[in-house]
Amino acid sequence: MKYTSKDKAVVLLSDGTIFHGKSVGIKGTTTGEICFNTGVTGYQEIFTDPSYYGQIMLSTVAHIGNYGVHADEVDSDGIKIAGLVCKNFSTDYSRPDAEGSLYDYFEKKNLVAVSDVDTRALVSYIRDNGAMNAVISTDGKSIEELKEILAAVPDMKGLELASAVSTKEPYFYGDENATYKVAALDFGIKTNILRCLAARDCYVKVYPYNATLEDLNDFNPDGYFLSNGPGDPQPLTEVIETVKEIIAINKPVFGICLGHQLIGLTQGVNTYKMFNGHRGINHPVMNAISGKGEITSQNHGFAVVREEVEQNPNLEITHYHLNDNTVAGMRLKDKQVFSVQYHPESSPGPNDSKYLFDQFVTYMKEHKEA
Ligand SMILES: NC(=O)CC[C@H](N)C(=O)O
C-alpha cells in the first residue's frame, strides 16, 4: 500500500505552460479541464462528485489523503474526477474511523495524480488566465507527445457530459412509505441530495437524464427534481424540452446547479462559460428575499446570464453571489419552480442553505393539500 514513487510528473496547460511535480504512484496520462477547489476539507466528497466528471482537480489544500477515506463520504459510486494535482499527498492517514487510504482508493480507479506541485502558483496562474484544458502525466511521456494528446481534448464549452454519469436504469431512494414522491432527473446527481430528500419524508425515483415526461409521470410524483451534473447545459436540447413540459404541469420543481441552468434555458435565458468557475465551500450568497447571507458550497463553471434573467418577466432573482453578483438562485414568478446555482446539500460544506429542501417539501405539501 505504501507508495514510494517519486517519479517525475508533469502538468501541461493548453497554453503551453508547464508545471512540474511528482507522481503519486499510479502511472498514466489523463486530460480534462483543470479547475481548482478551495475547500479545506471534504476531498472524498469532491472527488466522487459527478459534476467534476471530465475535469482535473487542482486542490488548494496543502494536504490530501491525511484522513483516509470512508464509505459514508461519497457522493456517487466512486471517483469521478479525471485526475488530481496537489501539494502534499499522504498515504498515511490518521482518523479512527477511516476505512482505508486515499491511495488505495485511487489505485482501484487507476487515477493519475500528481503531487509536489507549486499549487499556489498554478492556482494563481489559472485565476489570471482563466479555465483551460490540461494534461497531466506520470508515465514519462515527452512534452511533444503530451501536446499532441492535449490538442485532441474537446473544449468544455459545448461539451455534453451528463449522459456519461447519469443512471442507465431508474432506481429508488428512501422509504417507499414516505409522504412525498419526487421524480428526479439524473444528470449526475450527488448522493447527498438524495439523503437530504429522504431525510425530509421523500421517496425518490431517480430517472436517466433522457427520461420523458411520460416516464416520470408513471411514478405520479408530487414534485420534480433536476439534478446537478457535469458539462455544458446547452447541448442538452431534448432535456430542455422535457423540462419545459415538466414546468407546464404546475407541480413543484426544484433545480440544483445544472438543473438551475436548464430551467434558465427553458425560459430563453442563455448560459455562458465563466472565466473561472466557483468551486469551494465558503462562497457568500445573498438571499434577496430574506435579506440574509448564506455561506455556500459551490461547483460550477457555467452560469445563467444575469441581465437576461432580470429582463425576463417570468423570472425573479432570489439569490446572488456576493463576490461577483452572478445569479445564485431564481424562481418562476407564477409557479412553485425554483433553483439555485450552488449546492444546498453541501457535502462538503456549510449547512446554511438546507432550508431550500424544506421549501421544496413545503411546496409539495401545499400542492398536495390544494
Ligand atoms: N455542479 C453542477 O451541476 C455543475 C453544472 C455545470 N456543469 C457547470 O459547470 O456549471
Centre of ligand 1 to C-alpha 265, Å, is: 14
Distance CA 257, CA 94 (A): 34
Q: Is the CB of 13 under 6 A from ligand 1?
A: no
Q: Is the CB of 122 under 6 A from ligand 1?
A: no
Start and end residues for every CATH 3.50.30.20 domain found in the chain: 8-151
Start and end residues for every CATH 3.40.50.880 domain found in the chain: 162-369
Does the interface predicted TM-score (ipTM) exceed 0.95? yes
Instruction: State whether the Cα torsion 173-225-253-344 is positive or negative.
Output: positive
- If you take atom 3 of ligand 1, which residue's CA is the nearest one? 228
Q: What SS3 state is found at 359? A: helix
Q: Are 107 and 79 in contact (CB under 8 A)?
A: no
Is-catalytic flag, 345? yes
The mean per-residue pLDDT over the stretch 128-133 comes to 97
> Among candidates 270, 166, 185, 175, which has minimal Cα distance to 223?
185
CATH topology of domain 8-151: Glucose Oxidase; domain 1 (3.50.30)
Give the tens place of pLDDT for each residue, 159-216.
999 999 999 999 999 999 999 999 999 999 999 999 999 999 999 999 999 999 999 9
Centre of ligand 1 to C-alpha 308, Å, is: 19
The mean per-residue pLDDT over the stretch 317-340 comes to 98
- DSSP secondary structure, 210-228, as one string: T--HHHHHTT--SEEEE--
Q: Which residues of 227-264 are buried (b: 16+ CB within 10 A; e: fewer)?
A: bbbbbbbbbbeebbebbeebbeeebbbbbbbbbbbbbb
> Among candidates 253, 257, 264, 275, which has minimal Cα distance to 305?
264
Return the number of other C-beta atoms located less than 10 Å from residue 128's C-beta: 9
Percent of the chain at pLDDT > 70 equals 99
Return the number of other C-beta atoms located less than 10 Å from residue 17's C-beta: 14
Q: Which residues of 297-330 are buried (b: 16+ CB within 10 A; e: fewer)?
A: bbbbbbbbebebbeebebbbbbbbbbeeebbbbb
Q: Is the CB of 252 under 6 A from ligand 1?
A: no
Q: Is the CB of 231 under 6 A from ligand 1?
A: yes
Instruction: Decide: residue 55, CB within 10 A, 0-12 exposed, 13-18 middle, 19+ buried.
Output: buried
Is-catalytic flag, 35? no
Q: Is the CB of 300 under 6 A from ligand 1?
A: yes
Centre of ligand 1 to C-alpha 144, Å, is: 32
The model's confidence at residue 2, banded by pLDDT at 50, 70 and 90, is very low
Give the tens place of pLDDT for each residue, 89-103.
999 999 999 999 999
Q: Which of 81, 299, 321 to mutate to test the pocket of ligand 1 (most atoms within 8 A of CB)?
A: 299
Q: Is the CB of 266 under 6 A from ligand 1?
A: no
Give the tens place of pLDDT for each residue, 227-236.
999 999 999 9
The mean per-residue pLDDT over the stretch 72-84 comes to 96
- Cα 141 versus chain centre, distance: 31
Instruction: State whether the Cα torsion 138-142-145-148 is positive or negative.
Output: positive
CATH class of 162-369: alpha beta
| 280, three cell numbers | 469551494
**Which pLDDT score is estimated for 6?**
72
| 150, three cell numbers | 492535449
Locate the ligand 1 atom nearest the alpha carbon of residue 49 and give its number.
Answer: 1
**Which pLDDT score is estimated for 5?**
62
Centre of ligand 1 to C-alpha 231, Å, is: 6
Is-catalytic flag, 202? no
Centre of ligand 1 to C-alpha 272, Å, is: 11
Judge whether residue 46 has pLDDT over 60.
yes
Mean of per-residue pLDDT scores for the chain? 96
Judge whether residue 300 has pLDDT over 50.
yes
Locate the ligand 1 atom nearest the alpha carbon of residue 299 and give its number.
Answer: 1
pTM of the model: 0.97
**Which pLDDT score is estimated for 24?**
94
